[in-house]
Chains A and B, each alone.
Chain A
Amino acid sequence: MLRLSRSPGLFLCVGLLSVCLAGALFAPFLANDPLMTTPANRLMPPGPDAWFGTDHLGRDIFARSLYGARVSLSVGFAVAMLAVGIGLTLGVLAGYWRWLDRLLMRVMDGVMAIPSILLAIALVALHEPGLGIMVIAIAIPEIPRVARLARAVILSVRELPYVEAATASGIRTPRVLLRYIMPSTYAPLMVQGTYIVASAIIIESSLSFLGAGLPPEVPTWGNMIASSRLYISTAPWTVFVPGSFLAVVIYSINLIGDALRDHLDVRMAGPG
């Protein structure tokens, strides 16, 4: 497997991510009600009563951060699965049927030309805010990269002797695709998928921050930062605790992506 022991940094990342994941899963048992306002305890610095302090309405930042992890991680994984699923399908179609290729790739170019945050904003602005539309809005701009990657892999594989042999021996196209071509896309897509989890978390938090995400009351890291930004000078923890959660989780995921890439020996640039 990944040689964790040889890379203490990676080990730490996997550890931190697991802790976050566990925290998110078991948030109801670990933390108070994240919506509960206790104005008497507003803007408390981190301490024994509130580990990460409280915000200006006296809400527990530890609790809100854990519940925020739920939103961020579930959006991240959902987006990655959706984008990889659709991107792979389109990539295979484009890579295998050349007549579709030009059309699909032009469409992908068009999607890539629209800045991802703006495309997501436009999608969200037109619908009732909710988790479902967020996932779709964040996934769409990620699809072209997956599709291009899958297409490139397929183009390089389809001319290989064993694929040509399979086609020549009369195996039907869907079966050739599934059995002989698609498996070679799994490794690069796994790596790409990991990077997408990270970038989806960034975009989700940015949308929340801009007021185009989930409603401000819902504890997400972006919402927490947006609602506390007035207090950055007087109570910096209200901004930097959720900020650190974001940074640590995304950094860990990116490093895991890099490690996967090296381990699976995929030639790819990395996140971004």
Chain B
Amino acid sequence: MTLSRRGFLCRSAAAGALLSMPLKAFAQSGEMGMLRVAVYTDMVGYDPIVTTSNIAAYHGALVYDMLFGNDENQMPHPQMVGDYTISEDKLTWTMTLRDGLTFSDGSPVTTADVIPSILRWQARASQNGKLLAAATQELVALDDRTFQFKLKEPFPLLAAMLGSPATPLCFIMRKREAEMDPAQAVDVCIGSGPYVLNTQETRPGIDYVYDRNPNYVPREEPASGLSGAKIANFERVILVNMPDAQTAIAALQAGEIDFYEIPPIDFLPVLESDSNLKVADIMKSGTEGSIILNWLQPPFDNLKVRQAMLYAIDQEAVLKGLFGDPNWFNAHPSWFTYGSPLYNEANSEWFRIAPDPEKAKQLLAEGGYDGTPVVLLQATDRQVNADAVTIIAQQMRAAGFNVQIDAIDWATLLQRRPNKGPVSEGGWNAFVSTFNGFISSNPYTFGHMATIGENGWFGWPSDERNEELKAAWMKAETPEERVAIAAEIQENAWNIVPRVSYGHWVQPVAYRSNLDGFVSIPGVLAFWNVKRV
């Protein structure tokens, strides 16, 4: 009797499971071969060259490979490149692709793919790519596997830029996609990286499924940052879109996901007290909060109005509102990342009493601000962004700005921020963003330290002196000299106010404690080499 009933139960359970089981069922069961990562924002598109958001870089790092990869100390090592030589006069770099590189569609990677990929990246990359383009005389293929940079002047950082983790990373695509208009996102996602996007099982907006690329041949050197072996230990990596922190934390605690990208600081005590979980700062570079001002449109086309912002913003108050626990944040008056080697506080004494609404109002009057609404974009689906905007808007109002918050979601914000026009034509005056600390620790790694006007990053500041100083920094020979020039860059910065900071904080990640082997890359989460122990 018991037996037969059990038999019946088994049969009916099996039948039920078979009836209702899509193929994905195995993927949902959480066995060893799968890594489930909860990410906070949704992917805007599959093109990591067009979109510079972090999530696009995570996606790119899984699917695509790079010519060089910088290690944890930002020293470049060849990745797709096997050998390279630099001529005596330092003007010719000859690179040969290593063996066994194939795209996930089976076609081999050749210089016909590499060269347009570099060109497309240069067209999008705000600073590093453009500098390289300016220094390049010619980029030519010698044969299928060998290509050459012929330079106008020596460019020692060439390899470091091709291997830099600053977004957009120089990912190599097929010729077909690489030759597409750099302003338009590519329509298919085929790379030569350790994982392949599984478009069949990916459900946009819910989860993104990546399967191990069977054709990928990793390098043999040990992994460090973006360099060395990229070993796909997991059969499958799934990026699950979890905008709700409550859900993500519950899922992480229950073991339904393995990794959570951005646990809110308020919840860290809960996570730290759980012995199954680890909280760690794997990117090791901190985060800088930044208020981007649109230099092309009034009122922030006016220096006085921008300087008024320095008096208006009380970083301590913003950070306290965002994170509560002061152990995780630092208010500071520098353009450089807090705690980075170039960090200095030159030319900041004058506004350090901030907030000083009276001073701000005075500057607004001098700048001729007439009370026209300032449109501040707010990403309501990102708690940090939404809250920062709410507090910053309050502080700006107290300083005499007429602030109008435009509440949209982050994906829409990304689509809207390239608009250079006035507010009446869908433009904007300011938005709030966060940068990985690495990015603003060095004037050459990222575009927002560039002041090259409309060719630069959003906000489009322009200032020649800053560009001259950066060029001088680049040529400087000793670290001491670089520090001295950094002080001058800093000095100049608050004379022009390219953007305004709202502070620095550390954003750790949380994951199941049975995971190990994370590589540390500033701003990019990479899931190769990660394994379950």
Q: Is B383 an interface residue (CB 8 A)?
A: yes
Q: Is the CB of A39 within 8 A of B407?
A: no
Q: Is the CB of B391 within 8 A of A37?
A: yes
Q: Is A211 an interface residue (CB 8 A)?
A: yes
Kindly state the separation between the CA atoms of A58 and B387 in the bound complex, as whole angstroms: 11
Q: Is the CB of A39 within 8 A of B391?
A: yes
Q: Is the CB of B407 within 8 A of A234?
A: no
Minimal beta-carbon separation of B298 from chain A (angstroms): 22
- Give the chain A neighbours of B264 by CB distance below 8 A: 230
Q: Is B466 an interface residue (CB 8 A)?
A: no
Kindly state the separation between the CA atoms of A211 and B319 in the bound complex, as whole angstroms: 25
Minimal beta-carbon separation of A87 from chain B (angstroms): 32
- Give the chain A neighbours of B407 by CB distance below 8 A: 129, 211, 215-217
Cβ proximity bits A31-44 to B, threshold 8 Å, 1 near / 0 not: 00001110110110
Residue picked from A56, A58, A229, most chain B C-beta under 10 Å: A56
- Give the chain A neighbours of B321 by CB distance below 8 A: 37, 39, 42, 56-58
Kindly state the separation between the CA atoms of A215 and B390 in the bound complex, as whole angstroms: 11
Within 8 A of A (CB), among B388-438: 390-391, 393-394, 405, 407
Within 8 A of A (CB), among B216-272: 244-246, 264, 266
Query: Which of A58, A229, A234 is close to B266, meaning CB atoms less than 8 Å apart?
Result: A234
Size bin of chain B's contact surface: 20 to 34
Q: Is the CB of A216 within 8 A of B380?
A: yes
Kindly state the separation between the CA atoms of A216 and B264 in the bound complex, as whole angstroms: 20
Q: Is the CB of A40 within 8 A of B393?
A: no
Query: Which of B245, B246, B380, B391 is close to A57, meaning CB atoms less than 8 Å apart?
Result: B391
Within 8 A of B (CB), among A121-169: 129
Minimal beta-carbon separation of A79 from chain B (angstroms): 23
Within 8 A of A (CB), among B260-300: 264, 266
Given contacts A232-B246, A233-B246, A217 and B324 within 8 Å (CB-CB): no
Given contacts A36-B394, A37-B391, A234-B266, A216 and B317 within 8 Å (CB-CB): no
Cβ proximity bits B303-328 to A, threshold 8 Å, 1 near / 0 not: 00000000000000111111010000
Query: Which of B380, B383, B393, B394 is close to A230, meaning CB atoms less than 8 Å apart?
Result: B383
Query: Which of B244, B378, B394, B405 is close to A37, meaning CB atoms less than 8 Å apart?
Result: B394
Q: Is the CB of B383 within 8 A of A217?
A: no
- Give the chain A neighbours of B209 by CB distance below 8 A: none
Given contacts A40-B320, A42-B321, A217 and B387 within 8 Å (CB-CB): no
Q: Is A231 an interface residue (CB 8 A)?
A: yes
22 A–B pairs (Cβ distance < 8 Å), ordered by A: A35-B394, A37-B317, A37-B394, A39-B318, A39-B319, A39-B320, A39-B391, A40-B317, A40-B320, A42-B324, A57-B321, A58-B321, A211-B380, A215-B407, A216-B390, A217-B390, A217-B405, A217-B407, A230-B244, A230-B245, A230-B383, A231-B266
Given A216-B405, A217-B378, list of 7 further CB < 8 A pairs? A35-B394, A39-B318, A39-B322, A40-B317, A57-B387, A227-B386, A230-B246
Chain B interface residues (CB < 8 Å from chain A): 244-246, 264, 266, 317-322, 324, 378, 380, 383, 386-387, 390-391, 393-394, 405, 407
Q: Which 8 A-B pairs have the closest CB atoms?
A: A39-B321, A39-B320, A215-B407, A57-B321, A37-B391, A39-B317, A37-B394, A217-B405
